[in-house]
Amino acid sequence: MRRPTLEAVAARAGVSRATVSRVVNGQETVAAHIREAVQRAVDELGYVPNSAARSLVTQRTDSIALVFSEPPTRVFSEDPMFSTVIRSASVELEAADKQVVLMLTGSPKSHTRVERYISSGHVDGVMLISMHGADPLPAAIARLRVPVVSYGRPAVPIDIPYVDNDNMGGAEAAVRHLVDTGRRRIATIAGPPDMIAGQDRMSGYRKVLRDSDLPSIVAVGDFTRQSGAVAMRRLLGDDPALDAVFVANDLMAVGALQALRQAGRRVPGDVAVVGFDDIEAAKYTEPPLTTVRHRVYEQAAATVRLLLGLFEGGPADPVILPTELVVRESAPQRA
């Protein structure tokens, strides 16, 4: 069976081919009764617009690239945050009748491929996720004059609209909670220093300890569970008397809890633990993890809305979402 053509719709509706094209492509210059006739003919014939031809008319592909500056193993298996970002962005884009193009840039070769794909006009806009400070891709994409937004504040000074959460304020609330519950040797397992989340959460940690006249005790991880365990063992070796640890994300906190258990330290009796993100697993650790709730789903949705707004000339102002301390048994309130 032959696919219905634009000409067939025009004949059925009793209008010109050009009029059908304008209606199908959403132009508002056609009278309402004519639009209704064309739409009726489209429905009766089962006409489906040719996406390639439509792109030539509208100069849009209706596709948005989600670009992750991470290897596939991290995006698809190690960090549940990424699956939440993909799910939220996909729901928001589907509601706007946009296609999702998922792209990973974990190597220099993939950077070149992604830049070439975007510069060739295959997508209408780009959402950058998990960018690192030394990554040249944000600046390269910005030069292409394609609408682009960042999930999180860019790690380098570049004029790209973004949506972030209050990383510094969330870290301050976490560490202040530990101070208020009587902890005095509070360590941190910091995130990667080339990522804004790592930098801001470290700044929040240092500010509270400075204000409280307490020492900083620092180890650095890479936001993975294994790095959290390694860093926790290092902290215990460097300062066996530590009585609390603020961990810059929940995956590392899971690793830290494992290392503390293996070292024979009771949580929270010997060492209180606070994480950041409030991933689903935080409720089910042993003991359940006190953490800072970072609304990943809402942040991803807000980032998509910011990008879609740019298409219509909307504002490009940064958006900062609030965080919230969730107290559980790993660092309970003072009795």
The Cα–Cα gap between 189 and 210 comes to: 17
pLDDT digits 0-9 by tens, 217-247: 999 999 999 999 999 999 999 999 999 999 9
Q: Which of 216, 281, 292 is nearest to 255 (CA)?
A: 281
315 located within any domain: yes
Average pLDDT, the chain: 88
CATH number of the CATH domain containing 303: 3.40.50.2300
Q: Which position has the token pair 């929940």? A: 250
Q: How many domains does the chain have?
A: 3
Residue 229 lies in a domain: yes
What is the DSSP code (8-state) at residue 145?
Answer: T
Clarify whether residues 149 and 175 are in a common domain: no
pLDDT attached to residue 56: 43
The span from the CA of 37 to the CA of 39, in Å, is 5
Task: Report the CATH number that the domain containing residue 17 is assigned in CATH.
Answer: 1.10.260.40
Residue 90 shares a structural domain with residue 103: yes
Let me know whether 153 and 238 are in one domain: no
Instruction: Report if residue 332 sits inside a domain.
Output: no
Domain membership of residue 85 (yes or no) is yes
Q: Which domain holds residue 247?
A: 167-294
What is the rounded distance in angstroms from the CA atom of residue 99 to the CA atom of residue 223?
Answer: 30
22-66: pLDDT as tens digits? 777 666 678 888 888 888 888 888 776 655 445 444 456 788 999
| Shared-domain flag, residues 201 and 235 | yes
- b/e per residue, 272-305, with b = 16+ CB within 10 A? bbbbbbbbebbeebeebbbbbbbbbeebbbbbbb
State whether residue 12 is helix, strand or coil: helix
Mean pLDDT of the region 202-214: 97
Cα 278 from chain centroid? 14
Residue in 101, 95, 141, 142 with CA at minimum distance from that of residue 123: 101
Q: Is 335 part of any domain?
A: no
Does one domain contain both 268 and 212? yes
CB atoms under 10 Å from CB of 217, counted, come to 17
Q: Give 210's Cβ-side CA count (13 Å radius).
A: 7
Structure tokens at 100: 């999702």
Residue 42, number of CB atoms within 10 A of its CB: 20
Residue 187 lies in a domain: yes
Backbone angles phi, psi at 166, to 5 degrees: -80, 75
H/E element, 90: helix 80-95
Let me know if residue 210 belongs to a domain. Answer: yes
**Helix, strand or coil for residue 241?**
coil
Q: What's the pLDDT score for residue 55?
A: 46
Statement to judge: residues 214 and 242 lie in one domain: yes
* 26 Rama sector, left if φ>0, alpha if ψ -120 to 50, beta otherwise: left
On whether both 277 and 211 belong to a single domain, the answer is yes
Q: Which tens digit of pLDDT belongs to each residue from 80-123? A: 888 899 999 999 999 988 999 988 887 777 778 888 888 888 88
Which pLDDT score, from 0 to 100, does residue 80 have? Answer: 84
82 and 21 co-located in one domain: no
What is the mean pLDDT of the segment spanning 150-174?
Answer: 92
